A and B are shown apart, each in its own frame.
Chain A
């Protein structure tokens, strides 16, 4: 049905009815719960991009947005934007209660590797069975090891490199809440980290990928550690002043290094150490953490370059923060659907005036 925007209230109502009708085919009683159970990684991605960890609400947002990730993120973000910030809980990456830990740089890291639950090791064969078992990571229904009752807390694998002074010093960071700041541009590494943790997944991956393609061969990153698990959240008790654990959130963090020999303008080698990159994301979409760590490393290393060195976008924090937020990008692209006939009339006026000038020139 086409309609002019003038008769808009009818059009909006009709559009809403049509949308409802299309959804009426599904009569499950707990649609959001079903979403959460069927597509947990989608829920994770939406929570990560929204910067909000609340799986049931995220599943509801996905269902309401009919699977449009960007819209679901928008719903979640605007839901929390006016909620008060009741407290902060500062936790270290090494506090993670590990459920999965892999260390590609080291075969036998201190504490060992744990594959945990992951789709990485299942063949990518589309299973066309209609039974609920379709899409399982393994056909095996045998028992898995009982989960350890004690949370598994491990040192960072990077510690081994740090102890040997093989990691170049990085800017130390204070956590920054970007939702209570105007802009991530020029606000330092803490703000940049929060920005990356909420960046749009596809854009994040694409930029990290271009970073590898553009750089010199020696810029290839090596993943030191990817860990997924639960990060305990504590708040200060209002009476006793003691920290009280109130829950935990699922997170994935990544540390990787770039091999890089610093060379100055006269060709002298001035440093031979690795540049460390760190990335963290809510949930289990692991490429988010890896991509963020790659970009963090690139930006960190670019700081050490002599002034005036050309920066590709992947090395330029200022550029990245203008491009990688999914809400800003989709918001702008989609606003082009709004009426623009006033500004367009202004464009028409100029196009005609300049065209006239060009024609007069030719005569």
Chain B
């Protein structure tokens, strides 16, 4: 498992992660998992990423009012919030998981999210 794990909505990131790595835009130890919608993401998947070795986890979904599936990214943000609570209960830094929002096809916010989380790991 890479040190930084990202879950991205299929409508946000428009560039392959390997291309971003070749450009040196994102950390080498970044792994991105694309989801049809971040609303599909459940709390156990976030926690399991840590169990498998991730040091920081982030989720990038559509802007809340522009989610392709209406409320998917909003639901994801609530699950991230609950994952933070569990991390706190486990004496982990809750900032090691974070929710970000990006416009359709925007790569830059995903790159920024990956860098932010790498700095927290």
Does A associate with B in a complex? no
Interface positions of A (Cβ within 8 A of B): none
